[in-house]
Structure 1
Amino acid sequence: MSRALKIRKQIDSIIDDEVLVADMKILPSNYNFEIPKTIWKIRDTKSTLVALQFPEGLLMYSCLIADILSKHTGCETIIMGDVTYGACCVDDYTARSLGCNLLVHYGHSCLVPIQDTAGIQMLYIFC
């Protein structure tokens, strides 16, 4: 079985969690925050401190998402909403200096290559 297929099966099992489905109903349906994929990434990387970087327009959902991720993974979250040069700026330096294992960047991005964010795992979510 390929790595991609294994990952897809793991994400599908997360999607089937009835408690998670109920928890996600509070989020607006016109955005795809990819919560199951994010939960998979947190578990796969064994991340315990996760930075969630939001552009200004999505900050209103940040606490809801942080609560869902913490509830379903046991991780602690730090919400980063202080991007001053545009929503596409990935703030891996701040996340790393705060001791985060994973940075989840929401919104559009200039796609800084993941290998260029040394010292921290990255996940891009294009809402």
Structure 2
Amino acid sequence: MANTADLKYTRDHEWIALDGETVTIGITDYAADQLGDVVYVDLPAAGSAIEGGKVVGEIESTKSVGELFAPVDGTVVESNQAVIDNPQLVNDDPFGEGWMIKVTIDPSTLSGTLTEDEYRALVAE
């Protein structure tokens, strides 16, 4: 995975890695830590249209149920089957093997995201 400083972040604790017109989306280490041991992940199927700000998945842990929000509008090109089969990857490697979905987008729609420093300041509050 890319250096975490190169990623974009949301106030809903997702990270976004941009590669041309495709983004990879996952949850941050902070979110994974807050959830505790992840035991179940539900993600949208490839071909699904997603809308920024809307819930697109569910992440269940031994402590709570969390929601995965779409940070952008787009179309899902891949859901991480490895995370569905082994939810612990979210805790073990949230910025790597624990990614959630890949989405095709219009890159100009990435407004309103945070830098790593802005995100770390947000969660430190």
TM-score, normalising length: structure 2: 0.29
Task: Select the structure with the greater relative contact order (CA < 8 A; seq sep ≥ 6).
Answer: 2
Higher strand share: 2
